Structure 1
Amino acid sequence: MPYTVDFEKVSTTGLESSPVADALAGLRANEARYYRNKYDHTFAVTPASEAPEVLDYVNRVLSEERDIVISARPLEVTSFEVDGLRMAYVFYESGLSINVMYGIEDGKKRAVGFKLSEGMEVPEELAERFKFARQKSKLAGVIRGSFFVIKGEY
């Protein structure tokens, strides 16, 4: 069952098993606020077990582009289209959030973004490959993020 993320009253609903549930909830709320403010889009997530096609898509892009396999347990996913972009998100129990931004038209932006919740260590599968920049968020504290550009067709 989809859960509409409320960025005004941050909730750990669906994220309770995460050791950094509060920070992950703030990170998820931060994404919800961004899409509401920029695109007037309501950010809703589904348990990963209920939308395996979204998880499979993100895993395929990670695997084919950079041979990355995430070991953390996925908790929630979402996918949607906004402003010519196909977006897919996975929120992991470890506090990691991965998004795949895929411009539908040729020449549009295509990238994979990684965000780490405050208090989360950089996952081993990403540690040697990416440098993470910090940004402050009222909802999520300090978020660390990185990305790579998608070269293939998905």
Structure 2
Amino acid sequence: MSYVVDFATVSATGLESSPVAEALAGLRANEARYFKTKYDHVFTVEPADEAKETVDWVHGILADERDLTIASRPLQASAFQVENIRMAYVFYESGLSINVMYTLDEGGKRAVGFKLSDGMEVPEELGTFKFARQKSKLAGTIRGSYFVIKKEH
């Protein structure tokens, strides 16, 4: 069942098994606010087991581009298009959020972003990435990193 993420009233619905559920809910709400403000898009997530195609696409890009496998269990995912950009999000039990921004135009920007919830340690599989910090009213301190997608997916 899909869930519309409310950034006015942050809820950990669907994220309860995470040890940092409240921080992950804030991170998810932060993303929802961004897409509502910038694109007037309502951010909706599904349980990961119902969004297998999205999770597989994100995991395929990670494996193909950087030989990465995420150890944590995916809890929720979202896939949508805003303007000419295909977006996908996967939220993990550990507190990790991965997003793929894939511009559909030839030569457009394409990247994978990693965000860590407040209180989450950097996962071993992402230890080679440098993370920058940003403050968020909804999510506390978010640490983020990314890499550019080089291949077609």
Aligned twin of 1:35: 35
Aligned twin of 1:63: 63
Aligned twin of 2:89: 89
Deviation (angstroms), 1:60: 0.3
Q: Show CA shifts across 1:59-115 (max 9, x none).
A: 000000000000000000000000210000000000000001000011111000000
1:148 and 1:81 map into 2 onto residues whose CA distance is: 20
Aligned twin of 2:147: 148
Aligned twin of 2:126: 126
Q: TM-score, normalised by structure 2?
A: 0.99
**Length, aligned pairs only:** 153
**Cα root mean square deviation, aligned:** 0.4
Aligned twin of 2:109: 109
1:143 and 1:151 map into 2 onto residues whose CA distance is: 26
Give ranges in structure 2 of 5+ residues lacking alignment.
none
1:106 and 1:71 map into 2 onto residues whose CA distance is: 32
Deviation (angstroms), 1:51: 1.2
Q: Show CA shifts across 1:105-143 (max 9, x none).
A: 11111000000000000000001x200000000000000
- The letter for the 2-side match of 1:90 is V
2:107 and 2:41 map into 1 onto residues whose CA distance is: 23
- Of all paired residues, the percent bearing the same amino acid is 70
1:50 and 1:57 map into 2 onto residues whose CA distance is: 14
The residue matched to 1:143 in structure 2 has which SS?
strand
Q: TM-score, normalised by structure 1?
A: 0.99
2:47 and 2:99 map into 1 onto residues whose CA distance is: 16
